[in-house]
Chain A
Amino acid sequence: GESVGLHLPTLSVQEGDNSIINCAYSNSASDYFIWYKQESGKGPQFIIDIRSNMDKRQGQRVTVLLNKTVKHLSLQIAATQPGDSAVYFCAENRGYGQNFVFGPGTRLSVLP
């Protein structure tokens, strides 16, 4: 069935490098996307969101890119820090009145 998924289950990056986490979605009706960060023993924490009328949105050290043509979402983290180590989930909202569907997650490990 339709689902939100991630290309890479794990990602290791050197401290200070940039990280890119990818997410594919299959429902063209999805109009709102959120990236969550989940640290060990905690619930998911909102990082950044983007609506389908935008291609790019920037936050503090994070950027989300949305390519509706290929149904692809990415999260870019600049100057990755040890505190960025966590599992990152993308979640899609498939339209007004719908709930969010979460992808399986990518584990980001920051190497010293």
Chain B
Amino acid sequence: EAGVAQSPRYKIIEKRQSVAFWCNPISGHATLYWYQQILGQGPKLLIQFQNNGVVDDSQLPKDRFSAERLKGVDSTLKIQPAKLEDSAVYLCASSLAQGNEQYFGPGTRLTVT
């Protein structure tokens, strides 16, 4: 079984630039999550999708972050414009259903200079 795929693996941008991350969850997983993991901290949930609908985006900075999962499979997370404090690893995870074990991708390491 293929795992959660993410791209790119690394990204370096200047502040005020835009960036987008892509995630392909495990086939058949209805629930998809985006987490932000700042160095030395645990993952923090940004947004959760159930199929193509948003279930929880309470911790997503909506003035600069956006995410979509149009066809209920792949998802993209965008930051526009980026700030220095957005430097982190962005993890995508998927699960069969909410509350089930989550499978994580390798993450995208973002550095904002």
Contact = CB atoms under 8 A, between A and B. Distances in A.
Contacts of B102: 46, 100
B25 interface: no
B106 A42 contact: yes
Nearest to B104: A43
A58 B91 CA distance: 28
Interface residues on A, range: 20 to 34
Interface string B76-112: 0000000000000001010000110111111100000
A73 B93 CA distance: 23
12 contacts: A4-B42, A36-B104, A43-B91, A43-B106, A43-B107, A44-B43, A46-B101, A98-B99, A99-B33, A99-B56, A105-B41, A105-B42
Interface of B: 4, 33, 40-45, 48, 56, 91, 93, 98-99, 101-107
